[in-house]
Structure 1
Amino acid sequence: MDLKNQTFRDFTLLGLSEKPHLQLPLFSFFMIAYILCVLGNCLIFFLIVTQSQLRTPMYFLLGNLSVVDICMTSITIPRALCSLLTQNMAISFHGCFAQLFLFHAVGNMDSFLLAIMALDRYAAVCQPLRYATIMSKRTCLGLVTSSWTVVTLHSTLFTAMTSTLQYCNSVIHHYFCDVPAMLLLSCTDTYPQQMTVFIEGSLIVMGPMLFILGSYILIIRDIMKLRTSKGRRRTFSTCSSHLTVVIFFYSSIIFMYFRPSTLYSVTYDRVVSVVYSVITPMFNPFIYSLRNKEVKGAVKRVTQCCKKESLKWTSEEKIHD
């Protein structure tokens, strides 16, 4: 990464707002969101690892999604919390580009995992007899590994493209280093970079989205063939959690990255970025747990097991006393 031509040692991240009276509410929001995200996703991951009933392809992918969501928030939120607490907004050049690289890698991995989960739902609804063959352990591992390879190459391209620009301003109107905000600081013409973001980014982001859309068209087609409305509702309920997450995630991503630069708004973009980088990872475990009978059943079994162990420990303490 060549940073020799830069005239600044650090960038300054302004955060979500420069107004002093909003610092405490923002700190509280980020702290609560981060705690909920980590605890919720850790719970989902713990259940998948410990409960044999959840050792299926769908929950293997959900476990990976939980890890990615924890990573996504950990890349941005702790740094934002530190800035709000210490009022030190500076971030080094290398630190900024490292954050940009990691964020784009895990952020795009989120969309690839959602696409693989759509394939799982398609196989479960439309090809139930071939489900074990289509979503075998080897297939799932291969798809996840290939996805990590693609998003790493994509993130490397974006990081190299952004780091070679010359900057005449070091103040980033954002709470983390992201490509749209960085392009605004460049002294040179960024049209080639903007086109790269739009074209290559479209392939990486819209590719999985179109795959998800195609999968759900086939799923809905098969659901509509069912004779009873009860059967349709029951079948579609198996996809509702995944579909909710997809809509929530992609609506904010499309608004953020795929629109003309003339529509760029510092205030609105910072708010939208919170949706896909903070709120979506925070809500994912709750969406899957509240709308999924198997996850709720696993939570109930773990809770009952903990209660039994607690009662056993209490009774043993009384005997010793």
Structure 2
Amino acid sequence: MRNHTLVTTFILLGLTEDPKWQVVIFVFLLITYLLSVTGNLTIILLTMLDSHLKTPMYFFLQKFSFLEISLTSTCVPRFLFSIVTMDKTISVGACLTQLFAALLFGIAQFFLLAVMSYDRYVAICKPLHYTTIMNTRVCSLLFGTCCFIALLAICPGVIFGLDLEFCGTIIEHFACDYSPILKLCCKDTRSMQLVNFIFATIILLITLVLVMFSYGKIISTILSFPSAQQKKKAFSTCSSHMIVVSISYGSCIFMYTKPSAEDRMSLNKGVVIVNLALPPVLNPFIYTLRNKQVKEALKDIIKKCTSTTSK
């Protein structure tokens, strides 16, 4: 006989109990979420409708926008719903599904960033062979590989997660994160937390090394260009992606380099909420405002829409 009851629901504490701060958080998250979905959907539609954006770079940008929407949608709508309804409960199944979905989309995103940096490397360092190397089949295969690796990466966690038994119900977070959930387990999970930390570090390091290797080659190639105009043009094609990479890796590295576990837990919620809210909003603006082709495509679509509505 077990000396504990079967836990079927968790209670997500959220970010704060202060009603005023809850209103501020709700408004902030709602605005950023709507902007994120609108901006990323705009990029997806533009890359699908405009013939000038049927290139490998925009193919990967389209998939990156899809992953951004998927990642932020795993946690933010549920949290907004809990603020409005004051219902902080979530079933164990829904919680684990949210966790593994967020991990799947997040890991796929990091590998896709590495693929996007490789695409820029081929475009700048091997321009004559670009269309041959980065053909439609290769692009689809690379994106499929990112998703497959992410799926493989979360499989051990899913298998272990199905076998977990919980003795606690209160999660000190606004979403179902790995460490707070493991704290509720009946058995000692320190080894699992260590494995999780090592796994996350390996994924970050592998993808970061791939990105840095690609950009190391890119920078050395650009510096060898004789013309200053060529250098400026080459750097401008990579600048948007470099900014997105810096934001994505910067926030994750910050989460894993805090001095103690206690500090990690206290700051983790704030870092996660900023990471979920701001990058998905900033990325569409970074790619559109710094990219003439995307701006031209957007103007063309708006002109077509206004001309059809005026008729």
- TM-score class normalised by the smaller sequence: over 0.9
| Alpha-carbon distance in 2 for matches of 1:275, 1:236 | 28
| Alignment partner, residue 280 of structure 2 | 281
**Which secondary structure state, in structure 1, belongs to the residue aligned with residue 14 of structure 2?**
coil
Normalising by structure 1, report the TM-score.
0.91
**Which secondary structure state, in structure 2, belongs to the residue aligned with residue 147 of structure 1?**
helix
| Alpha-carbon distance in 1 for matches of 2:159, 2:274 | 26
Instruction: Report 1:1-321 matches (<5 A).
Output: 7-257=6-256, 262=261, 264-311=263-310, 313=311
**Which secondary structure state, in structure 2, belongs to the residue aligned with residue 11 of structure 1?**
strand
| Alpha-carbon distance in 2 for matches of 1:165, 1:260 | 29
**Which secondary structure state, in structure 2, belongs to the residue aligned with residue 177 of structure 1?**
coil
Shift of 1:184: 2.9
Q: Is the 8 A contact 1:101 1:156 kept in 2?
A: no
User: Given residue 150 of structure 1, which amino acid in structure 2 is its aligned partner?
Assistant: I
Q: Is the 8 A contact 2:75 2:175 kept in 1?
A: yes
Shift of 1:263: 5.0
Evaluate the alpha carbon distance shift between residue 258 and residue 191 of structure 1 in structure 2; reply closer, same or farther with a 3 A threshold. Answer: farther
1:240-297 per-residue CA deviation (whole Å, 9 max, x = no partner) reads 0000000001111122246565354434211111232221112111110011111011
Q: Is the 8 A contact 2:37 2:69 kept in 1?
A: yes
**Which secondary structure state, in structure 2, belongs to the residue aligned with residue 169 of structure 1?**
coil
Q: Is the 8 A contact 1:158 1:179 kept in 2?
A: no
Shift of 1:34: 1.1
Q: Is the 8 A contact 2:100 2:158 kept in 1?
A: yes
Q: Is the 8 A contact 2:288 2:294 kept in 1?
A: yes
| Alignment partner, residue 316 of structure 1 | none
Shift of 1:15: 1.4
Evaluate the alpha carbon distance shift between residue 267 and residue 260 of structure 1 in structure 2; reply closer, same or farther with a 3 A threshold. Answer: closer
| Alpha-carbon distance in 2 for matches of 1:159, 1:257 | 22
Shift of 1:6: 6.2
User: Given residue 107 of structure 2, which amino acid in structure 1 is its aligned partner?
Assistant: N
1:118-169 per-residue CA deviation (whole Å, 9 max, x = no partner) reads 0110001111011112211111111111111111121222233345344332
| Alpha-carbon distance in 1 for matches of 2:189, 2:7 | 19
**Which secondary structure state, in structure 2, belongs to the residue aligned with residue 15 of structure 1?**
coil
User: Given residue 203 of structure 1, which amino acid in structure 2 is its aligned partner?
Assistant: I
Evaluate the alpha carbon distance shift between residue 92 and residue 178 of structure 1 in structure 2; reply closer, same or farther with a 3 A threshold. Answer: same
| Alpha-carbon distance in 2 for matches of 1:101, 1:26 | 25
| Alpha-carbon distance in 2 for matches of 1:115, 1:74 | 23
Q: Is the 8 A contact 1:126 1:218 kept in 2?
A: yes
**Which secondary structure state, in structure 2, belongs to the residue aligned with residue 195 of structure 1?**
helix
Shift of 1:109: 1.0
**Which secondary structure state, in structure 2, belongs to the residue aligned with residue 157 of structure 1?**
helix
Q: Is the 8 A contact 2:114 2:211 kept in 1?
A: yes
Shift of 1:219: 0.5
| Alpha-carbon distance in 1 for matches of 2:125, 2:241 | 16
Shift of 1:209: 1.5
Q: Is the 8 A contact 1:41 1:285 kept in 2?
A: yes
Normalising by structure 2, report the TM-score.
0.93
Instruction: State the identity %.
Output: 38
User: Given residue 130 of structure 2, which amino acid in structure 1 is its aligned partner?
Assistant: Y
User: Given residue 63 of structure 1, which amino acid in structure 2 is its aligned partner?
Assistant: Q
Shift of 1:179: 0.8
User: Given residue 295 of structure 2, which amino acid in structure 1 is its aligned partner?
Assistant: K
How many residue pairs were aligned? 309
Evaluate the alpha carbon distance shift between residue 86 and residue 35 of structure 1 in structure 2; reply closer, same or farther with a 3 A threshold. Answer: same
Where in structure 2 are there 5+ consecutive unaligned residues? none
Evaluate the alpha carbon distance shift between residue 169 and residue 264 of structure 1 in structure 2; reply closer, same or farther with a 3 A threshold. Answer: farther
| Alpha-carbon distance in 2 for matches of 1:276, 1:42 | 19
Q: Is the 8 A contact 2:111 2:146 kept in 1?
A: yes
Shift of 1:21: 1.8
| Alignment partner, residue 318 of structure 1 | none
1:205-253 per-residue CA deviation (whole Å, 9 max, x = no partner) reads 3211110011001101111112233322221010000000000011111
Shift of 1:17: 1.7
